[in-house]
Chain A
Amino acid sequence: MKNVICLLGAKEISAKIKQGELSVRQVLEAYLQRAEDCGNELNCFNLICKDYALSRAEEVQKGIDDGALSGPLAGVPIAVKDNICTEGIPTTCSSRMLSDFVPPYNATVINKINAEGLVVFAKLNMDEFAMGSTNESSFFGEVRNPWNLSRVPGGSSGGAAAAVSAGLSPLALATDTGGSVRQPCSFCSVTGLKPTYGAVSRYGLIAYASSLDTIGAIAKSADDCLALFNIIRGSDPKDSTSKDASFIKSTDIKGKKIAVISELLSEDINPEVKNAVLSAAERFRSLGAETEFISVPELKYSVAAYYVLASAQASSNLARFDGIRCGYTPENVETLSEQYLKSRSAGFGSEVKRRILLGNFVLSEGYYDSYYKNALKAQELIKQALKKALGNYSFILTPVSPDTAPEIGKMTKDPMKMYLSDVCTVPANLAGLPAVAFPCGFDKDNMPIGVQLIGNAFCEEEIMSAAEAFQQKTKYHKTQPPFTARYKK
């Protein structure tokens, strides 16, 4: 029974709880048991907060029984990426620097999901400070892909995508700065939404690149993903960049025009990925949409612009970590400067240090105009180009990643190659647009392939409805990884 519970969708679980078929505790215990049985093999959790979750389950059950909690996801367990602050529960960013940090407050998104009766039961492994595309930069070790344990799950929300894919959590809250929700969803065959910049409050998110960071949702299906997004969306006085906006256009896919960007289906893309994405376009045509190829040459600057801007902001955001209040505190230091140097040098991993160095380089005198200022110009060009495209089309369709999940260790030797693999996801972040990644096929090694739909700002419901229409006609999102079958008892 317990393993059957772990195969249900999030809304389905909530409905069964409300109908009295399952209790909140019963569902939570099923996930806690599954996490205990097979969580270590994937290394997707940094922490399971069992006692806290069991106590929350009692509260939530009472709220459901009293009728106070009646939302679509009431009673559903949820795991949270470890860069989102949870009051009284350690939040480490998978870094030695924050390995003993316990936030004294909740992020706004945590308050919102608590108010709707979701039960936080775990913190998820991730790339250190969300910097990485393979989940190998975590201080707590790499996460493994449930579709093949020798492959990476993607990053930086690799723990979140692996957990949802393997049935270790029905839902996950994760963050996306350059593709960190979408790319691991593509590698693990689950659905992930990166909202419009400003649609969800960032209060309580440990910042990486503040002008690009967003908090998104991961679930098996687009329907569950949208339900979670509808809970966390909305303005927040604690985040001045957040706002209430809802531009719901027609959610019917019939008659919609979809642009396929030819530059993102070039010879650099794995042919199997290209074929799967073109088949997805064909599927949308069969659902009544029109598809056309368009060219957006400005995208050639996207990876360079993203890494300049994100690293610049990261070098500034991470300047606050010095080991004084939390994290690694060195011994036998004589001066404050020495303390800072030793703490930061030992507290940060190599990928984080590399981005701090790059950020300081592009912001320093002599290089600022050539790199940082030109990156802002490139961002503006990309924004204008995508805005123009979305004036003529409802959605833009692209692959999520040029390739399927690589072997563990392959990318860490070549960071430039890892950065280039973000080519399909960073444009949506640079333009602040919403994008959804969902499964659309498998390669010859049975590794998942994902497709991405980008929409107009604040049109999340429109892109999620398109993804849902696709999922109603396909079964990719319902296919279980081989890992799940091993644990069916």
Chain B
Amino acid sequence: MKPDRELILKLEGLGMLRLSEPERAEAEEKLGEIISYCEQLCALDAEAPSVPEGDVSVCPLRRDMPAVKKEPDKLLKNAAEIINGCFSVPEALGEAKE
């Protein structure tokens, strides 16, 4: 797989970097070679044993889609308040996953 200009720009954003045009062109080429080599890992989709629990998180570590705040009012209501010079402890929203 060769990353296109759009993907390089997206990765720059995620990495808080701004590449120059020559750097972008080099990234497309060199990163493409590295990603193509790493594609051999896709063979493990079916054949490999599962990784012991706890080693893999259930969702990508780096979310590149903005989180959608479903209940902004409820969240704002839960913001810490100053009472007698101290912050009040906010209520926990949602349930922790087992």
In chain A, residues 408-453, which have Cβ atoms closer than 8 Å to a Cβ of chain B? 415-416, 419
Tell me, yes or no, whether B49 is within 8 Å of chain A by CB.
yes
Taking the closest CB of chain B, its distance from the CB of A149, in whole angstroms, is 28
Contact A304 B41 (CB under 8 A): yes
Contact B27 A357 (CB under 8 A): yes
Chain A 342-372 per-residue mask, 1 if CB under 8 angstroms from chain B, else 0 = 1011001010011011111111110011111
CA distance A375 to B34 in the complex (A): 14
Q: How many A-B residue pairs have CB under 8 A?
A: 131
Interface size on A, residues (CB 8 A): 48
Q: Is the CB of A345 within 8 A of B19?
A: yes
Contact call A365/B65, Cβ cutoff below 8 A: yes
Interface centre among B23, B30, B64 (most CB of A within 10 A): B30
A319 on the B face (CB < 8 A): yes
B81 within 8 A of A: no
B84 CB within 8 Å of chain A: no
Q: Find chain A residues with CB under 8 A from B30 CB.
A: 354, 415-416
> Are B18 and A345 in contact, CB atoms less than 8 angstroms apart?
yes
B31 interface neighbour in A300, A316, A354, Cβ under 8 Å: A354
Indicate the size class of the contact surface on chain B: 35 or more
Q: Are A308 and B15 in contact (CB under 8 A)?
A: no
User: Could you tell me if B17 and A312 are in contact, using CB atoms closer than 8 angstroms?
Assistant: no
Residue in A357, A373, A377 whose CB lies within 8 Å of B11? A357
Query: B7 → chain A, closest Cβ, in Å?
Result: 8
B60 interface contact, C-beta 8 A: yes
**A30 contacts chain B at the CB level, 8 A cutoff:** no
A340 within 8 A of B: yes
A222 to B45, CA, bound (A): 42
Distance in angstroms between the alpha carbons of A240 and B67 in the assembled complex: 32
| Chain B proximity mask over A176-188: 1 for CB below 8 Å, otherwise 0 | 0000000000000
- B42 in the interface, Cβ–Cβ < 8 Å? yes
Which single member of A316, A322, A370 contacts B16 (CB below 8 Å)? Answer: A322
